[in-house]
Chains A and B, each alone.
Chain A
Amino acid sequence: MESGLRVLLLTGLVAATTGCSLFGRDEPPMEDAGASAPVISPEVERREITTPKIDTEDFEITAYLGQISVEDFGSNFIYGARVGYHVSESLFLEGTYAMSGDVDRSSVEVLDNIDLLGDDRDYSYYDLAVGWNLLPGEVFIGRNRAFNSALYVIGGAGNTSFAGEDLFTLTFGAGYRVLATDSIALRFDVRNHMFDNDVTGEDKTTHNIEFNLGVSWFF
């Protein structure tokens, strides 16, 4: 198409459309005829939607004390902290860091009077786990008191620092949480920490069972 013709057509189109709207505007509105005041006020108040500030308590922080049985190296006192995030009423994610002092001497070390670990006797671990509130419920103490509770299962992975090495660790277990108030809970946990280790001379998978008692706070 020639550009001249195109311009002509466009001009015509623009004239027609603006003309239409102009005529439209000139026409007196039907409702105004004879009416002195508008029946309906056209002003609509703008609705502003804001999410109300409601205190959410999806995070849980725990401090705990317990005992861990380090395979071949006796039962040892352990303490740690956990930070959890509750994704839904059932599912939560939790990170844990815990440490024990120097582990006990193994029977081999005692009997042969040797030192397998030297300066590397301290034991600590961290893990990141996914928990599932398997059996939520209530516990009743006496006639008038009920406390919310949950039995949960949890599993994850992390790293254990022991015998001068960083050992990839799988951890799984179960726990019981009783809410003393709406925000404070008591927790009892049992965990198995599994890692491969060659400290005693043979390569083997060790199972390190931990029991602990903790207090947690939701915020």
Chain B
Amino acid sequence: MRQFILIAALVFLPSVTPAYGKTSHYEAVVAEPFLELHTGPGRGFPVFHVVDKGEQIDVVKRRTDWFQVRTAKGVEGWVKLEQMAGTLDTAGRPTALDDPTADDYVGRRWEVGLQLGDLDGASVISLYGGYHFTRNLSTELRVGDISGDYSSGWIATADIVHQPFPEWRVSPYAALGTGVIHIEPAATLVQTEDRTDQVGHVGLGLRMYVTRRFMFRGEYNSYLTFTSRDDNEELDEWKAGFAFFF
């Protein structure tokens, strides 16, 4: 029941937030010879209407690289980002649009990503969020869900990440972190105790800027688990995935 409430909250929460931008749309003036209106926000949707130079349009909303606009006559359609960039605002200035580029990538502040991989024979799904203090230095919180044949669990670490060449398209980085690992043996095995231990790790990885807000990321981590038993345990992890920045 509690989970049902959680799902319901997840679905209906955004609908109670105030409706923003509903009343005051951005107004633009067509500056190129004409502006093409497509029937949908994507490739292949046909052009069904053309707005002439000098006419005013209301920009209703944006979806990825497409803008829904309404003409003075009330015709609604979708305009591509490249064409939208050729319009002016009502004061005659060019329309400034948020169009992330490689420069924005280098100067990014926040980064969120998802990775899949192998942690000493077990599968691991890992989610992380990072904040960049400078172009070289960032901090990350990482959470991983581990599932293996004989055990499952989770791992959470806080890291400091250093990227010596942030402007490279394929750029290496090094990470150093500490956290907690929790392991539960599989239920079909003879019952043994769950374990929660502290871990420390070092890692090396590569980031590759793909396009827009998107990057690819792969890394290797070497974990040292500080157990209460006689030996500390070493774990190797390989993982790769996608991330985006904002």
Of the candidates B7, B14, B43, B96, which one forms a contact with A49 in the assembled complex, judged by CB atoms under 8 Å apart? B96
A163 to B213, CA, bound (A): 40
Chain B residues whose CB sits within 8 angstroms of the CB of A148 once the complex forms: 39-41, 45
B10 and A87 form a contact (CB under 8 A): no
B149 on the interface (CB 8 Å rule)?
A: yes
B242 and A54 form a contact (CB under 8 A): no
Chain B residues whose CB sits within 8 angstroms of the CB of A166 once the complex forms: 145, 147, 152
A49 to B40, CA, bound (A): 29
Q: Which residue of A lies closest to B153 (CB)?
A: A166
Chain A residues whose CB sits within 8 angstroms of the CB of B73 once the complex forms: none
Cβ contacts B53-71/A at 8 Å (1 or 0 each): 0000001111111111000
B64 and A164 form a contact (CB under 8 A): no
Cβ contacts A61-96/B at 8 Å (1 or 0 each): 111000000000000000111010111111001000
B42 on the interface (CB 8 Å rule)?
A: yes
Of the candidates A83, A85, A168, A182, which one forms a contact with B147 in the assembled complex, judged by CB atoms under 8 Å apart? A168
Q: Which residue of A lies closest to B63 (CB)?
A: A57
A136 on the interface (CB 8 Å rule)?
A: yes
Cβ contacts A138-167/B at 8 Å (1 or 0 each): 100000001010100000011100011111
Contact size range, A? 35 or more
Of the candidates B15, B61, B125, which one forms a contact with A57 in the assembled complex, judged by CB atoms under 8 Å apart? B61
A134 to B206, CA, bound (A): 29
Q: Give min CB distance, B101 to chain A, whole Å.
A: 14
Given A128-B114, A217-B14, 14 more A-B residue pairs with CB atoms under 8 Å apart are A47-B93, A49-B96, A54-B59, A61-B10, A81-B10, A85-B244, A87-B64, A136-B40, A138-B39, A148-B40, A148-B41, A157-B123, A159-B145, A166-B152
**What are some 17 contacts across the A-B interface (CB < 8 A)?**
A53-B21, A54-B21, A55-B62, A57-B63, A79-B4, A89-B64, A89-B66, A93-B114, A128-B114, A136-B44, A137-B44, A146-B39, A148-B39, A157-B116, A168-B123, A182-B68, A217-B14
